[in-house]
Chains A and B, each alone.
Chain A
Amino acid sequence: MLDEQRLKILTESAKYDVSCSSSGSKRANAKGGVGNASVGGICHSFTPDGRCISLLKILMSNRCAYNCLYCPNRAEADVPRASATPDEICELTMAFYRRNYIEGLFLSSAVEGSPDSTMEKMLETVIKLRKIYRFNGYIHLKGIPQADRSLISRAGLYVDRMSFNVELPSEKSLRLLAPQKSKEGVLLPMKQLALEKAAVKEEKAKHRKMFLPAGQTTQLIVGASPESDGQILKLSEAMYRRFSLKRVYYSSYIPVVKHSLLPDKCAGLLREHRLYQADWLMRFYGFSAEEIAGEGENLPEEYDPKCAWALKNMQFFPVEVNKAPVEALLRVPGIGTLGAYKIIKARKYAALDFDDLAKMRIVLKRARHFITCGGKFYGSENAAAIKTMLMLEEKSEKYEQLSMFSSPEVSLSALTGQL
């Protein structure tokens, strides 16, 4: 049986993987089995860092043969090492699941020995869990790059989601910081799985096997290497398109290892947050990466990427809430997918004014500069003034006192008292 000491080591090594979702699969329970997958995903707890616990996130082993510079478990590091057997992991998963602590298992591993032997051991765990323990809950398996193709596609038949981490946004950085990994080693299996999933979809429903029902995801470390946000978003967009990924996760770099090739400062959560906002714009709001940020550009810190886009494209605004098509509403800063849907439904019955929007809980502090209601406009005409106001609002959300030395436009307004 796994003891607390080893659980601690194996979890602490796995916790920097940000993927936590348990959504996308609707695997049903079988007769005599335990568990099912909930298509919307379920969060079971939240840790003091504000992240959710949905899956039992654990490594099979942290004894790694690789020496990626940014990784606390790299071969040269002097850290406590541990590993678990397939049965130990299965037992813990079942015990936690029966108590409703978790939604399923997130299994990852360091490369112990060779990629193939590591992948074999992970596959054995997953098959045991499904066949012997009759577990039908959610399983997310981290793929080992450069493992044998047949092992990878076999795993696809048992798990709900698989992910290969791209880690660094360019080949050059990868070569520098993770010399044993290669771009192809990560991208090829992703491509292979995407093709196989598409092939399974083609088969007749009657004979169709379940293959990665919740698809694939990947993760990028932001801030460990010099790539710009524009470049990162372009990469994400390409991966969404080519591998039909469900999600790209961005993880702002936390220095756990000191090295001359690595920055010794945290990349900061704001940059990560802005990237997620941009990612959502690409997936749900019909934006392209090019529109949000050009090749070498970074996202602005002062306001969100949608505001930034709108301020650059004032010719599209203001839009009339009672007439605009849903695509135009979605591009208004402050109106989200839910807000746009509410407006579309409500305006069939009655013309909407600003009071109605407020009652419907549509936040107007940003939106009012970009919309009219029945021809009325309550925003500011002047683009520079809007810019300053948006910045101030973003700042006030963080309860920060204005400083004369913060960003130029804000500090100017602090001096003159004018907005």
Chain B
Amino acid sequence: MNVYITDGSENSFYTAVFNACTDKNCIVTSSHTVQLPMDSTVIVVQADGNKCGRVQKKLLAYAPRCLKDISLILRRGSAAKEQVALEYIRLIVQKRAPVGDMLSHPAVIAAREEKKKVTLEAHRFTGFLRFMEGKGGIYYAPFSPDNDILELILPHFTARLADQPFVIHDTARGKAALYNRKECVIVQTDEKVSVPLSDCEQHFQSMWKEYYRSVNIAERPHEKQMKGYMPVRYWKYMPEKT
């Protein structure tokens, strides 16, 4: 059995698919902690522009919108994401047509579930992200999502807070988006950075906490529902929950 190890990038994945698609019994993964089967041969895949381009071109011809779906699936923070994407691609290649509507097919169900987890988390963080005002008037927002969604939520914030310079920091993946009112770049960072806060920041955080306390109807506790909508793992950077 062949085990294709990619470097986690999209190009590297499509390069692996070039061979893996017809390789009936194989595993594609970017995880370094994967348990290898007994008789496995490890193939480390380097991104190859030519192979990758050919795979993408073929997929585009069969199912024009599938590249977007696959790109979302590959943002998943689970070890099985490449395998789910591969099964989905195999089905497209087999049918030579879009398969997104075959909602009772196991490969499609799995792909939709993974995709949903990514888009749901991206949507949640458009609400749960919290900015704090730094000394120089630059707003800083740390978060540690399960999936790699920084690029997905960026357009939302650059449109909404267009006149506000900000940094959104994915502490789990050590990368940050820097926005200066004109353009936005993504850079690699350390896990922790120290940000001196502006003078009024503390005031507004405590106002927000007071608001959070006051708007609650204490006679009707329903913590379970709160935690269902707002999982505890996201509370780390929310002033009202710390």
Which A residues lie at the B interface, using CB under 8 A? 2, 4, 7-8, 11-12, 14-16, 29, 32-36, 38, 40, 42-54, 56-57, 92, 95-96, 98-101, 103, 137, 254, 266, 269, 342, 345-346, 348-350, 352, 356, 359-360
Contacts and interface: CB of A to CB of B under 8 A. Distances in A.
B148 interface: no
Contacts, number: 148
Interface string B133-147: 100000101000000
Interface of B: 101-106, 109, 123, 126-133, 139, 141, 156-157, 159-164, 200, 204, 206-208, 210-226, 229-230, 238, 240
A7 B226 contact: no
User: By DSSP majority rule, is chain A's interface helix, strand, loop, or mixed?
Assistant: loop
Given A42-B126, A98-B133, A349 B101 contact: yes
Given A48-B226, A49-B217, A98 B164 contact: yes
A11 B220 contact: no
Contacts of B163: 32-34
A106 to B, nearest CB: 10
Most buried by B among A12, A15, A44, A50: A50
Contact of B127 (A35, A44, A95, A356): A44
Nearest to A92: B207
A45 B240 contact: yes
A310 B200 CA distance: 58
A7 B214 contact: yes
Nearest to A10: B214
Contact of A99 (B127, B160, B208, B220): B208
A92 B205 CA distance: 11
Contacts of A342: 103
B132 A29 contact: no
Given A49-B222, A98-B139, A100-B127, 4 more contacts: A46-B229, A48-B218, A100-B157, A254-B217
Contact of B222 (A4, A50, A100): A50
16 contacts: A8-B210, A12-B215, A15-B214, A16-B217, A29-B162, A34-B164, A45-B230, A46-B225, A46-B229, A49-B216, A50-B220, A54-B127, A101-B130, A266-B219, A345-B103, A350-B105
Given A7-B207, A43-B127, A254-B219, A350 B102 contact: yes
